[in-house]
Each structure stands twice: as structure tokens, then as C-alpha cells.
Amino acid sequence: MAAERFLCGLGMRLVARDVRLKAGQVDLLMLDGECLVVVEVKARAGRMFGLPQEGVHWRKLRKLEQLAAMLRQQHPHLGRTERIDVVAVDLDRDGRAVRCDHIPNVTA
């Protein structure tokens, strides 16, 4: 996954992919130092529907905030703080990632 490789290249460590909880799903769970990072990955080919990151609406961010709090309760040993990041992935016509943009510490 391009977003995962991109974040690992920034020095983050993968904790889990596609984390499913009763309340929802998290694309990537990473550690950035002592910070638990809940990552929403949004990919798009072309600009017909806007930038990938524009697809992450306030409702999704609120849900991610809830999921981050749940994950911290379930796994208090993972990081001292938590935050939500978005990785926007631009795809070419063949569905290959050509660019990743990292937007850290996104809030609703």
C-alpha cells in the first residue's frame, strides 16, 4: 500500500492495517514516536470529484476521533497521545499511486 510505505518513509511504524471495530474501521494504525496515529487513506484517479482529501468529511473525522479514543482505551500501551492523519493518494489511469500527500493532525 502506497500510503503505508510513504508513512514508514517518514519514520512512522506500522501497528495494524484495516482495523475493524464495532463502531467503524481504521485504514492504518501507526506509531509516530510515542503518538498513536489513526490514518484515513483516500485515493482518487483524476480530479472529476475533487482532491482525495476532500472526500474526508467532518462526519468521518468525528467517527475517527471516536475510534481513536476507543483504541487508546483498548491499547493504553500504544503511545502516550493520539492524532488523526489523512493520506491523500493520487492514482494514475492504471490505479498506481503517483503521489501521496500527508495531512497530519486533522480535526473535525
Residue 108 lies in a domain: no
Encode pLDDT of 39-62 as tens digits: 999 988 877 777 778 888 899 999
Pairing of strands 24-32, 13-21: antiparallel
Give me the number of domains the chain comprises. 1
Listed in sequence order, the DSSP H helices in the chain are: 2-9, 58-74
Name the E strands within the chain: 13-21, 24-32, 35-45, 81-91, 97-103
Q: Is the pLDDT of residue 6 over 90?
A: yes
Give me the mean pLDDT over the 62-79 stretch.
90
**58 grid coordinates:** 467532518
CATH number for 13: 3.40.1350.10
Give me the mean pLDDT over the 85-102 stretch.
92
More confident residue, 54 or 67: 67
Residue 34 lies in a domain: yes
Domain holding 75, by residue range, is 2-103
Q: Are 86 and 28 in contact (CB under 8 A)?
A: no
Phi/psi region, residue 40 (left: phi>0; alpha: psi -120 to 50; beta: rest), is beta
